Amino acid sequence: MDINFNINEDHNKLKSSELKKQLAKTALGGGKARIEKHHSQGKMTARERIDYLLDKGSKRIEIGALAGKDMYEEHGGCPSGGVVVVIGYVQGRQCIVVANDATVKAGAWFPITGKKNLRAQEIAIENKLPIIYLVDSAGVYLPMQEQIFPDKEHFGRIFRNNAVMSSMGIPQIAAVMGSCVAGGAYL
């Protein structure tokens, strides 16, 4: 037995355990109380909606689950960047699903939310994947609105990407799942 192997194995097991705990915490979005409130209103969470939409038992992978980790703590945090992005299958066709997490500040957009949405669109464009938006957003998080720019390198690029995907024949579907005021209604 190699002592270094055992040390490395123990270290990796510890890190793997820490990651699993962090992912489980992140999966709660805005927390258990907000999830319960959501359920009491007859609504599913972002992850529940994605699970309901995707083919049962099919392969799937979440993108950027830890986006927003340790960010915006002075505003209550932004788990998963306030949006859940999953590559999976709908009716046997691979696609990417983007769902606002309304348990996190009513699905409001933080700067990281825009970046994560842009990354989802880039993946859709690069791989010619249909993209499905499950929209449930209060729009831009107003205390940080000055950090979310509508120019071509930030939030505004989302609309450019919509046009690019349209010109490429990439299907784009948006389902409005909540009140979706202001900028939350755009996708």
The CATH architecture of the domain made up of 3-185 is Alpha-Beta Complex (3.90)
Q: What is the pLDDT along the chain (187 residues), one digit of tens a residue?
A: 688 888 888 889 999 999 999 999 999 999 999 999 999 999 999 999 999 999 999 999 999 999 999 999 899 899 999 999 999 999 999 999 999 999 999 888 888 998 999 999 999 999 999 999 999 988 887 777 777 767 767 778 888 999 999 999 999 999 998 777 776 666 6
Q: Give a three-class secondary structure readout of the chain.
A: CCHHHHHHHHHHHHHHHHHHHHHHHHHCCCCHHHHHHHHHCCCCCHHHHHHHHCCCCCCCEEECCCCCCCCCHHHCCCHHHHEEEEEEEECCEEEEEEEECCCCHHHCECHHHHHHHHHHHHHHHHHCCCEEEEECCCCECHHHHHHCCCCCCCCCHHHHHHHHHHHHCCCEEEEECCCCCHHHHCC
pTM of the model: 0.91
